[in-house]
Structure 1
Amino acid sequence: MSPVQSLFPPVLSLFVLVSSAAFAAECAQQDAIYEDRDKAYELRFVPVESAAAAASHIFKLAVLKTGLLLDGYVMPTDEVSRSSGIIMHNCPEGDVTGAELDACTVWEGLLYSIDDKGGAANLPDGTAAAAGEILLADLGSSIRSSALWGEGQLTVAPWDVLTLKGCGQ
């Protein structure tokens, strides 16, 4: 390998990091669009309509190959400030029982923003600059364990880290 070839990957990686950071600064978290490493899943944040809403963030998780669309919500935790998320599919509306909620929950866990140095933090506020990457802890294995997994349904699980790929609105 020539010296130029051995230099190219680090230079390209640096360009991607700088480009991602600059792009994230131009996009509000509430408009951010992310994808998994295999480009099989896309996560799109949407603005929260009401200031009285319990959710700090709302998103849709799309399974690109099948067109399946899952609903996601982020709420701050009470005791220690963390971004707690939930992804649901076909939940009944109105008053629901705990068993009904459990049956339609695909994933529940913590979301973290990952900065360009690998540091983790809570998800930025909706109008703040979008995180370059987000981590949905245990997302892939939760989808594999859900009722959506199996023949004729989902057969590809996402990586737990999703990378900013665009900005909506």
Structure 2
Amino acid sequence: MRNQAVLATFLLPLLVANTFAAECRQERAVYGDRDGAYELAFEPVGSEAAAATHRFKVRAVKGELVLDGHIMMADEVTRSIGMIMNACPGGDVTGDELAACTVWQGVIYPIDKAGALSEAVPAENSDAADRLLIAGFGPALRFSRAWEEAKLNIAPWDELTFKECAQ
């Protein structure tokens, strides 16, 4: 009986979070890593970013690091291609300038309740994904300029779990 109570204590927050993910639109979903050190919060795209299907911010919970991110759909195969950037210049930027401020680039995979990967993050006005896999993000941040600038000491996990729905 005691084991069941302990198990329920750990599983209940996961079950509650997954229930709320279905009630939250992707454009307002907030995710956290398993250490509670980072949050990824989606924002509405708006009309200024026609190529992007999603926008988000990655924040270190302790500290002042805020990274900008967006997702675009790949042309060849349906995949959510994400970019996470640190203090990129505005306006027209060169490829070298963009490369210098890019912390991570790759596929962002949504993960459903059963643990299956999907090829595309749900549309903004769809139910939020339960979890996101951003493979290699932790090491990419660790070896980026942003790591030193923000004086970070904990890298994020590559899997983020739905945490809440932003107001």
What's the TM-score, normalizing by structure 2?
0.91
**How far apart, in 1, do the equivalents of 2:52 and 2:82 lie?**
9
**How far apart, in 2, do the equivalents of 1:156 and 1:14 lie?**
25
Query: How much has 1:34 moved relative to structure 2?
Result: 0.8
Give 2:91's aligned residue. Answer: 94
Matches within 5 A, 1:17-32: 17-32=14-29
State whether structure 2 residue 134 is matched by structure 1 residue 129. no
Mark the runs of 5 or more structure 1 residues left unpaired by the alignment. Answer: none
SS at match of 1:120: coil
Give 1:155's aligned residue. Answer: 153
Report Cα offsets for 1:118-167 as digits up to 9, x if no partner.
Answer: 10112111011111111111110100111122486222110001111111
**How far apart, in 2, do the equivalents of 1:65 and 1:148 lie?**
14
Distance 1:126 1:156, change over 3 A: same
Structure (1 or 2) with the larger CA radius of gyration: 1
**Contact 1:17/1:116 (CA < 8 Å) preserved in 2?**
no
Query: How much has 1:11 moved relative to structure 2?
Result: 4.0
Mark the runs of 5 or more structure 2 residues left unpaired by the alignment. Answer: none
Distance 1:94 1:66, change over 3 A: same
State whether structure 2 residue 68 is matched by structure 1 residue 62. no
Identity of aligned residues (%): 49
What's the TM-score, normalizing by structure 1?
0.90
Query: How much has 1:93 moved relative to structure 2?
Result: 1.4
Distance 1:34 1:118, change over 3 A: same
Moved more, 151-160 or 13-22: 13-22
Query: How much has 1:17 moved relative to structure 2?
Result: 4.3
Look up the equivalent residue of 1:113 and give its one-letter code: P
Distance 1:98 1:149, change over 3 A: same
Look up the equivalent residue of 1:6 and give its one-letter code: N
